Amino acid sequence: MQIKIFTISVLDNTQSENDLNKFLRAHKILEVQNQLIQNNNSAHWCFCIKYLENSYNSTINSPKSSSKKIDYKTVLDEKTFELFSKLREIRKAIASEDGVPAYAVFTDEELVSISKLETISKPSLLTIKGIGDKKIERFAERVISRIKD
């Protein structure tokens, strides 16, 4: 746990408020204590903020540890990998035609599942986790017809 103190003048507070708000958005806040402090002819708000160092900002900017690259050539048998590679080429072409990222057509995990199917048809594609009616409607016909080529 870390502590940060902000002091904001009651009279001129725009920049200090912006700094405080920026800090609050960028960190995982545990507790905020505030107090109005008056002395002579001035008054200030004092904010004591307790927060975690590894916070929202650092987790957004850090790569996901769970998204490790998989070498499908070593994971899949030769026949399955050959079909998987062909499916990746088909996916790339469809993504280019539709102007969408390749993963929006099918993810690598979905392509692996497709390449393991005995027969590739609309009903069999629907059995794969992540493939629903919308993907079937948008992409299934093109994928099925191009696999047969």
pLDDT at position 20: 87
First to last CA, the chain: 61
Is the backbone of residue 106 left (phi > 0), alpha (psi -120 to 50) or beta? beta
According to the CATH classification, is domain 72-148 in 1.10.150.80? yes
pLDDT at position 13: 66
User: Domain spans of the chain?
Assistant: 2-61, 72-148
In this predicted structure, the answer to whether residue 12 has a pLDDT above a threshold of 80 is no
73 Cβ neighbours under 8 A, 6+ residues apart: 81
Best CA proximity match to 98, nearest among 67, 134, 41, 138: 138
CB-based contact 72:112 (threshold 8 Å): yes
pLDDT at position 98: 92
pLDDT at position 57: 44
pLDDT at position 81: 93
pLDDT at position 66: 52
Model confidence band, residue 60 (pLDDT cutoffs 50, 70, 90) = very low
In this predicted structure, the answer to whether residue 29 has a pLDDT above a threshold of 70 is yes
Q: How far apart are CA 73 and CA 80, in angstroms?
A: 9
Residue 44, strand partner residues: 9, 37
